[in-house]
Structure 1
Amino acid sequence: MQRFEAYLLANLPKAPSFHPTFDEALSAMLAAGGKRFRPRLLLAVVDAYAPLLREGAYPVAMALEMFHTYSLIHDDLPVMDDADLRRGEPTLHRRFDEVTAVLVGDALNTHAFYLIATAPLHSDAKAALVETLAYNGGIGGMVLGQAIDCHFEGVKLTPEQVDFLHEYKTGRLIAASLKMGAIIASLDGAMQKRLYDFGLDVGLLFQIQDDIIDATRSEADAGKTTGNDEAKNSYVNHFGLEGSMERADALARKVEMEMADFDEALRERLAILLEGYLYRHR
């Protein structure tokens, strides 16, 4: 990951012009850091099955981080969560202005696909990668989940609808990250689906843990605005803090069991990556 981080920082997007702040804003949130969770999942699969393709996968891993960062920038806008802090830094609309934040998010979204299109990979693989990210990041995943989340603020959904919301908003992009690693490594369709389904469980666990953090951590600890979910269909709002912890523990045990059935090389890499997430609320 140190090599990938160095690659990311050396290849931050640039759009120099006579605009006074756009080029700075374009890379600000990427350079601010983050867990790099989605690219780490992709690279774990590539490392396990096709380590010679690792560097060729870096542009795709960066595309994932870029796409995820665009979603955070838009999620923080006043029209959505109206957040002031992200990755320990002022959100882009606070640091610059709302128009800049919207357009930077748009630019990172589209540039992610440019990175995939120009990656040093086979054209068939690149087409499959674009398809996977576009669908799971759009109407087949994250964007639909965000639309549901925003529309139903203040309306209590059923437990099944809460799971649907968070599978789409969070889980599907995480699942896509694993599948995209499998595509790069030329794994067969059955293994791609197995990794995708595993990623859905990881994604729901990730979201429950995030809701617990929102309810229990300070902004300084979390590095982002917290206490912002009062009207949302979060797991804590539906099941309470203790109930959410119990759901997270049960899902963590399921993820551990699923992980135990993977090949040793993949299991070892995922175990290192997920160790800090499985029971991080305890």
Structure 2
Amino acid sequence: MLGLFKAYLNANLPQVQSFHPFFNEALAKMLKAGGKHFRAQLLLSVVNAKQPALVERALKIALAIELIHTYSLIHDDLPAMDNADFRRGELTLHKAYDETTAILVGDALNTEAFLLLSEAEFEDELKIKLVKSLAFNAGLKGMVIGQAMDCFFEDKKLDLQELEFLHTHKTAKLIAASLQMGALICKLDTKECEELYTLGLDIGLLFQINDDILDATSTKELAGKPTNHDTHKNSFVNLLSLEGALKAKDELSTKCFTSFQTLDKNLALSLKTLVQTYL
């Protein structure tokens, strides 16, 4: 799935006809810089396991999710937020170009994602469901309020329940939406869609805990972005200690892998392998 998606991404990079000297280059820069494409792979894994004939049509939906995720990273790195110099081993857009370009590229990727959903080769009823899922989980009731809380509560200690709320919204909901949207494409029943969404929330928190651990233990060269960067943030390491975060990771990992056993064999194997690859 990763190779298939990367080929599709590179063949369908967003661009616009204009006489701006570098905007198309900036649009593509962070998309071409790599990344795990984890959310796109989650969606495609569901479709490949349940309705493999729909994978080709699902690539556009996976790309929409990737555009949303990349926009969120570009804005997260801005001076007004994390003020980061590097992302995916490359200069962040406001460093490579300027802050105006970074803001507008993020805006463009965000809105382009919904244009892709509107153009997908699915019936209108399904496209509306896909738009609703992505907008809900990436927008006000998901990633946006999570990011707002992350920024506002810097240097203000949250308790564990509050921290989980923050990162469920900032990180986990878009991961859960990726599984949910794959399930919607395959027309799985309501119960299966809800189960995959709930599993996605757990996977999302698991990846956030792992990311916090990597920030505390990895190097900039290995991570492709600044490390030891969360000292002012509400991270699982800062709240629980490194030992506590490692324990929480193990417990949540066990919960996720137990949940995989309730899925059909092909989907369980696909998701298990994907999660193990990036932990």
The alpha carbon displacement at 1:256 in A equals 0.5
Summarize the alignment of residues 182-193 of structure 1 with structure 2, pairs less than 5 Å apart.
182-193=183-194
For 1:276 and 1:213, locate their aligned partners in 2 and report how far apart those are by CA, in whole Å: 15
For 2:162 and 2:273, locate their aligned partners in 1 and report how far apart those are by CA, in whole Å: 32
For 2:7 and 2:231, locate their aligned partners in 1 and report how far apart those are by CA, in whole Å: 38
- AA in 2 matched with 1:92: L
1:17 matched to 2:25? The reply is no
Unmatched segments (≥5 aa) in structure 2:
none
1:91 matched to 2:92? The reply is yes
For 2:5 and 2:94, locate their aligned partners in 1 and report how far apart those are by CA, in whole Å: 28
Give the structure 2 partner of residue 224 of structure 1: 225
- AA in 2 matched with 1:180: M
SS at match of 1:20: coil
1:259 matched to 2:260? The reply is yes
For 1:16 and 1:82, locate their aligned partners in 2 and report how far apart those are by CA, in whole Å: 30
The alpha carbon displacement at 1:174 in A equals 0.4
Segment of structure 1 superposing worse, 195-204 or 12-21: 12-21
- AA in 1 matched with 2:276: E
For 1:46 and 1:34, locate their aligned partners in 2 and report how far apart those are by CA, in whole Å: 21
1:133 matched to 2:134? The reply is yes
For 2:139 and 2:5, locate their aligned partners in 1 and report how far apart those are by CA, in whole Å: 26
Give the structure 1 partner of residue 150 of structure 2: 149
For 2:186 and 2:237, locate their aligned partners in 1 and report how far apart those are by CA, in whole Å: 38
Give the structure 2 partner of residue 121 of structure 1: 122
Give the structure 2 partner of residue 40 of structure 1: 41
The alpha carbon displacement at 1:158 in A equals 1.2
For 1:176 and 1:127, locate their aligned partners in 2 and report how far apart those are by CA, in whole Å: 14
The alpha carbon displacement at 1:67 in A equals 0.4
Give the structure 2 partner of residue 68 of structure 1: 69
1:65-115 CA distance string (max 9 Å, x none): 010000000000000000011011000000000000000000000000001
Give the structure 2 partner of residue 172 of structure 1: 173
For 1:96 and 1:137, locate their aligned partners in 2 and report how far apart those are by CA, in whole Å: 26
Give the structure 2 partner of residue 239 of structure 1: 240
The alpha carbon displacement at 1:165 in A equals 0.3
In the comparison of the two structures, how many residue pairs are matched?
278
Aligned alpha-carbon RMSD (Å): 0.7
Give the structure 1 partner of residue 27 of structure 2: 26
For 1:244 and 1:4, locate their aligned partners in 2 and report how far apart those are by CA, in whole Å: 32
- AA in 2 matched with 1:44: S
For 1:226 and 1:105, locate their aligned partners in 2 and report how far apart those are by CA, in whole Å: 23
For 2:157 and 2:146, locate their aligned partners in 1 and report how far apart those are by CA, in whole Å: 15
For 2:5 and 2:230, locate their aligned partners in 1 and report how far apart those are by CA, in whole Å: 33
Give the structure 2 partner of residue 58 of structure 1: 59
Identity of aligned residues (%): 54
For 2:247 and 2:106, locate their aligned partners in 1 and report how far apart those are by CA, in whole Å: 35
Give the structure 2 partner of residue 79 of structure 1: 80
TM-score, scaled relative to structure 2: 0.98
Give the structure 2 partner of residue 3 of structure 1: 4
Runs of 4+ in 1 over 2 A off after TM superposition: none
1:95-143 CA distance string (max 9 Å, x none): 0000000000000000000011101111111100000000100111100
TM-score, scaled relative to structure 1: 0.97
Unmatched segments (≥5 aa) in structure 1:
none
Give the structure 2 partner of residue 211 of structure 1: 212
SS at match of 1:140: helix
For 2:33 and 2:109, locate their aligned partners in 1 and report how far apart those are by CA, in whole Å: 15
The alpha carbon displacement at 1:244 in A equals 0.2
Give the structure 2 partner of residue 160 of structure 1: 161
For 1:14 and 1:216, locate their aligned partners in 2 and report how far apart those are by CA, in whole Å: 38
- AA in 1 matched with 2:177: A
1:250 matched to 2:223? The reply is no
1:11-53 CA distance string (max 9 Å, x none): 0001131111111101110011110000000001000111000
The alpha carbon displacement at 1:3 in A equals 1.5
1:179-230 CA distance string (max 9 Å, x none): 0000000111111100000000000000000000111111100011211111
